[in-house]
Structure 1
Amino acid sequence: MNAASSSAQLGAMDLYHALPCPEGWVTRRLRFFTRINKAQPITLAPEDEVSFVPMAAIGEHGGIQLDQVKALDEVGDGYTYFADSDVVVAKITPCFENGKGAFAKGLRNGIAFGTTELHVIRPADDIDGRFLFYLSISELFRKLGEGAMYGAGGQKRVPDLFIKDFQALVPPLDQQQKIAAFLDRKTAEIDTLIAKKRRLLDRLAEKRTALITRAVTKGLNPDAPMKDSGIEWLGEIPAHWDVMAIKWITPVLRGASPRPIDDPIYFDDEGEYSWVRIADVTASEMRLEKTTQRLSELGASLSVKRHPGDLFLSIAGSVGKPIIAGIKCCIHDGFVYFPRIPPELSEYLFWIFKSGQPYLGLGKLGTQLNLNTDTVGGIRIALPPADEVHEIVDWISGNVKSLDEIHERISNAIVRLEEYRSALITNAVTGQIKVA
């Protein structure tokens, strides 16, 4: 355990030990009122079907997808067995992200097989399974678990001993059942509100795309005479606009990397040029203002230099995502760039790419979309006169800003609801609030 993890765990433990123990409750380690990672004999016939639960089926806040089934003799070795009313907790990163665990209920024939990267916690007769489940996704359990994790790099694990030795505040069975029923009801209400707000975000995203697409294909004058562009994604465009392949406007070139890229000789914290990774672009919106690394003079000389105002496009990772440089930077071969794009066209092309519409027919956005210099160069766009380009860019920027402000308010409301949900669960399972 590193120093940061140890400090986080100590802080969570201090918080835990500071909690008053309500009258009638007792402090017990999980190992004394549950069976942990111990399977029971299976009595089903080989042809009987059981639920099959890969890690991806364990969702946020204890969600579990049970739509996959397999015959028992088709499951094979190498899976964890669990049963109805068991609680499962992920063993590996991101095990504590958004309460990544589940309460097993509604399993086919009462049995499921899943990844071995699950801790299985089976409650004793005097423990309510739903109460135990809420305990396992409480903020307190997660904070202590994060502090106990071990392992190098991005893959860390929750040790068995953390699960076994976790000291829970346990009320009598009838009180556990009241708390579980209360949390079932309240979290369902919160989740309904969150779902509604997420649907609003989806509709906002659709409106944003439609707004951008209409502006870069139809212009701002609804009375302008139209003509058929001959391009499916463009449809009809203003009669005075041109249809141009991007390669007719500018060459489309690929970035470059110094090799081997992990050689420290290519990096310098005081270097003039920032080094752009896919993650930097993914985390940015319209303009790239910062990265986590800078190149040395040698490293920059072996890459492709870009300057404020330059447009480039990701063709790996977040495939198809455009970005405009706000700083001096260097790009690798996971990006393409446009060396002869006039500054006034950079933002216009940015919005065209941002709409995602030019990629229709090139593959599905994401890992299935295959972009390279030829496919990007071959994309045909509708190009208005320069004065209209400026008007369209200004109009899109203003309208998108308004939509983004609404998006931020809704997103912040979702965060507050999730924080309230987490605090409610923690306070209920530790007896800090009374439940009806």
Structure 2
Amino acid sequence: MAAQESINPSKPKLNFSDQFKTSFLPMSSIDPVSGQITFIKEREFSKVSKGYTYFQENDILFAKITPCMENGNTVIAKGMLNKFGFGSTEFYVLRPSNIVEGRFIYYLLRSEKFRKEAKAVMSGAVGQQRVPKKFLIDYPLCLPPLNEQKRIADKIESLFAKMDIAKRLIDEAKESFELRRAAILDKAFRGELTKEWRLSQVEILPNLETKIPYGWKHVILSDVVQVNPRRTKLQHISDEQECTFVPMGAVSEISGTIEEPEVKSFVIVKKGYTYFEENDIIFAKITPCMENGKTALASKLINGFGFGSTEFHVIRAKQHINNKYIYFLLRSSKFRYEAKMHMTGAVGWMGYTKLDRKIKG
């Protein structure tokens, strides 16, 4: 690599007053994810001209120490006062020659392949390992013509820009995800999602007296579900039998599913935990888990049953009642808001104990 760029080039003579303002880049000023400078400090020339790394505008700064090198603390120096600056002694400075596009070398140094190879040759005490300068000097690379180097760098930046746009759109979608889901669930339990179907049934007329869709009726939740039903006797289960176990953390508040169930021996969980069966709904009763939406349908349980946190209510739909309908009701923001209003207990340990809420069904 040394034939294409100078590594740690000599510092020229700099005749400036002690109070002369100059740019300074600590290691922390480099964002390892984006490979960009996040801030530039101003320092008096006398305070940085000795004992720090000198570089010029458009030089490449490459972190040589662990874990900064592996993390990607590599950047092109831009926006420096008077076109030069000083920085951490843990930077190597690479200055491209006139046959090399600086961005081409920059993206090479930031590549995962290069960093893995650099990590393999690090030396020094644990926590203070560094990439030897010789690795950079002797590193072999295939160098395309200068114009092609520029085209490659341009293409990389174009693709990265598209990725940034995609990431921003995804982040915006995540922000609106909860609002959209809440709106869908709210419409579902007001009958709006099936409104067109009802209107197509010509023999059905709107129920003007109750202000709910025809065929619906007001009930309380305990009319259609069992709340914390009695546990099935399990005398036939041996202590060594593996069982599904669901701690509170295993339920995703975003997807409303059991994402990381555990497996424990029956002897460990048979006492002191909440019992539930296949297709039961587990509903977090404690704050902030309830408000966050930790509600899930129990499925794929070992031997059809499982155990979990004592902070779950177990909801079992009665015969002819669709358990998924109840599940989505419990996940709705309207239900969670009303449940929050009825929570009791000490701050930080408030729980929702009553599940006799009136519903439309």
Select which of 278, 282, 285 maps to 1:310. 282
2:257 aligned with 1:287, yes or no?
yes
Is residue 337 of structure 1 aligned with residue 311 of structure 2? yes
Shift of 1:211: 1.6
Q: Specify whether residues 163 and 315 from structure 1 end up closer, same or farther in structure 2 by C-alpha distance, changes over 3 A only.
A: farther
Partner of 1:104: 77
Cα deviation, residue 276, structure 1: 5.5
Question: What is the SS of the residue equivalent to 1:205?
Answer: helix
Q: Give 1:138-153 correspondences, 5 Å limit.
A: 138-145=111-118, 147-148=120-121
Determine which structure has the larger helix proportion and give its number: 1
Q: Does 1:184 align with 2:153?
A: yes
Candidates 173, 177, 190, aligned match of 1:204: 173
Alignment partner for residue 58 of structure 2, among 73, 85, 88?
85
Tell me: CA distance 1:204–1:302, structure 2 relative to 1, closer, same or farther (3 Å). same
1:166-177 paired onto structure 2 within 5 Å = 167-169=139-141, 171=143, 175=145, 177=146
**What residue number does 2:234 align with?**
none
Q: Specify the alignment match of 2:108 in structure 1.
A: 135
- CA–CA separation in structure 2 for the residues paired with 1:221 and 1:139: 53
**Length, aligned pairs only:** 289
C-alpha distance in 2, partners of 1:283/1:163?
48
Q: Distance in 2 between matches of 1:137 and 1:147?
A: 15
Q: Which has the higher contact order (CA 8 A, sep 6+)?
A: 1
SS in 2 for 1:71: strand
Please report how far the alpha carbon of residue 105 of structure 1 lies from its aligned counterpart in structure 2 after TM superposition.
1.7
Aligned mates of 1:302, 1:95 — CA distance in 2: 51
Q: Note closer, same or farther for the CA distance 1:222–1:281 as it changes in structure 2 (3 Å cut).
A: closer
CA deviation profile, 1:5-58 (whole Å, cap 9, x unmatched): xxxxxxxxxxxxxxxxxxxxxxx4x59953359988876644615254553742
Listed as ranges, the gaps of 5+ residues in structure 2 are: 194-209, 213-217, 220-226, 228-239, 318-322, 339-344
Tell me by how many angstroms 1:188 deviates.
2.8
Instruction: Give the TM-score of the pair, scaled to structure 2.
Output: 0.53
Letter of the 1:204 partner, please give it. A
One-letter identity of the residue aligned with 1:214: A
For 2:163, give the aligned amino acid.
I
Q: Note the 1:245-284 alignment, pairs <5 A.
A: 272=243
Larger radius of gyration: 2
Tell me how far apart the structure 2 counterparts of residues 111 and 186 of structure 1 sit (CA, whole Å). 28
C-alpha displacement of 1:136: 0.7
User: Does 1:374 pair with 2:347?
Assistant: yes
Contact 1:134-1:180 at 8 Å conserved across structures: no
Indicate the percent of aligned positions where both proteins have the same amino acid: 16
Per the alignment, residue 426 of structure 1 pairs with none
C-alpha distance in structure 2 between counterparts of 1:93 and 1:192, whole Å: 27
Distance 1:70 1:375 in 2: 46
The separation in 1 between residues aligned to 2:211 and 2:47, in whole angstroms, is 62
Assess if the C-alpha contact under 8 Å between 2:287 and 2:348 holds in 1. no
Specify the SS of the correspondent of 2:7.
strand
Unpaired segments ≥5 residues, structure 1: 1-27, 224-237, 243-249, 251-268, 359-371, 389-436
**1:133, distance to aligned residue in structure 2 (A):** 1.0
Aligned residue for 2:94, secondary structure, equals strand
| Offset at residue 103 of structure 1 (A) | 1.6
The whole-number CA distance in structure 1 between the counterparts of 2:192 and 2:174 is 23
